[in-house]
Structure 1
């Protein structure tokens, strides 16, 4: 049994997600795509693939005959637009998988808390930087307290469309919040860099974690296991180099980030350097930032659909 889904947003993210559903999913069926630009490549591709379309946004989507059987809606637009979409779809009983930084629903990062919130009406996929780095923060915090974590996401400028650029502020706020709420860090900070290099470079992410004294081998093993978990649905996700452990000196300003009770104790800075290469289903391989977002959304929707099927079977 398949679950019918729709995509709002006919830009890069929405189009890549539509193609992923068509090519990769055995449990989801794409029923419709909504956009606001009648000339967009996404809507044109959807029509060629026999997917119902509308260029009248959410208002057009809910009037399509194909929408009647849709259970899950992916929102690949912007944080501001998502708030309106949520207001329209909530009374209609549809589940939203939000790929914007609106953060109306609970954060979901598949390898960390993917089995939680399966019954929520709206789940938030954080950001591309969050999907890439929060699994690493969670891997460290699973074996030792993380007092502070900072992530730097560097993406090709060419892969950042109008929606991404309009949501820069929301990106940093949402990612920082999720580093704490999902990653388990006491304090989190996120920075995004739009790299203008030509030819475009693939996504690079740096994760810093400040911990108390810990078993570095255990931390390393936890990171390695989490990396494999992410690779299960994002094959291009990998460590760029070995995890680095640096003891924080007594006079290092980083010690001000430690709890007062541990300010004099031994501390480590754990540095993890990541690379994310996209699968190039629709987007170029350098756009790993968008690929990890759509891959995470796809996996989350499949889990929600499977949860619903189990509930129906139980009844």
Structure 2
């Protein structure tokens, strides 16, 4: 049996609280050791205390002062990009493994079914963004089935109710970080990310659209690659699914598209439509955008532990 590693979560807001609930709900590899916040009245800290988890409302300094700090091996940061830039060097100096759920982009970008295997030895990992976790698997699925992925664009539409102060404060970082990860992790030569906060009532489920322009490969190969990737993501996000059939359009040499930084190109345009329903551990099920982020972080931490104990799955 794999020995559980003790985990601390910094950030007692929605994302940190949902992550805590997922770990407490069931993990053979992870044990909740501390929940850290700055508001003593936050729901996250209140729930943690009720569930027997050590808490502090004094931020990182409070965490480091806890009696069990030395036994904590993994710290997961669910604060903000700005705050994580302060937390990161301190945690690394203290010998902690760090999983960053902010768009700070410190450490390798990781999307579990795409590139976790090659980053198992890293001491710090960045989970990109919620939009990145939902769409980069699809970008990569196209890339591995073609000769060249010229361009990929993602549009993440989420309920405005699921976008809290932290998410709204990080909108610029979201688009920049996701765009970079589309290229670096997804494999596109050029990437672009757009986020839409939808005020519809009742709140909508997360919807993601991925457009990819490629050369080489067949429609059949791309479709099969996408379907395999959907199954991989569903292994840790059961509510992840194709909303409709993958669509294709041939872009001929007589009417090429102008891709900034690439030039005029022709090829095969692939359109992928994703819906993400949350698991309801803390967030409402419509907040699939947040649920996929915490699910990916949990899966990454568990994989880290299995790798260290020689039980890689």
TM bucket (normalised to shorter chain) is: over 0.9
Task: Please state if 1:148 is matched with 2:154.
Answer: no
SS at match of 1:88: helix
2:13 aligns with one of 11, 16, 19: 11
Task: Please state if 1:130 is matched with 2:132.
Answer: yes
**In 2, Cα distance between equivalents of 1:214 and 1:303:** 32
Contact 1:248 1:255 in 2 (8 A): no
Deviation at 1:172, TM superposition (A): 0.4
Aligned length: 308
1:286 corresponding residue in structure 2: 286
2:244 aligns with one of 241, 244, 247: 241
Contact 1:154 1:193 in 2 (8 A): yes
Contact 2:190 2:261 in 1 (8 A): no
Task: Please state if 1:208 is matched with 2:211.
Answer: yes
Deviation at 1:24, TM superposition (A): 2.4
**In 1, Cα distance between equivalents of 2:248 and 2:260:** 17
1:220 corresponding residue in structure 2: 223
SS at match of 1:241: coil
SS at match of 1:269: strand
**In 1, Cα distance between equivalents of 2:26 and 2:295:** 10
Given the two structures, how large is their TM-score scaled by the length of structure 1? 0.95
Deviations 1:154-206 (A, max 9, x none): 00000011110110000000000000111000100000001111111010000
1:272 corresponding residue in structure 2: 272
* Unaligned 5+ runs, structure 1: none
Contact 1:206 1:274 in 2 (8 A): yes
1:62 aligns with one of 61, 64, 82: 64
Please show how residues 106-185 of structure 1 align to structure 2 within 5 Å.
106-144=108-146, 145-185=148-188
Assess, with a 3 A threshold, how the Cα gap between structure 1 residues 308 and 246 changes in structure 2: closer, same or farther: same
**In 1, Cα distance between equivalents of 2:17 and 2:47:** 8
* Unaligned 5+ runs, structure 2: none
**In 1, Cα distance between equivalents of 2:102 and 2:125:** 10
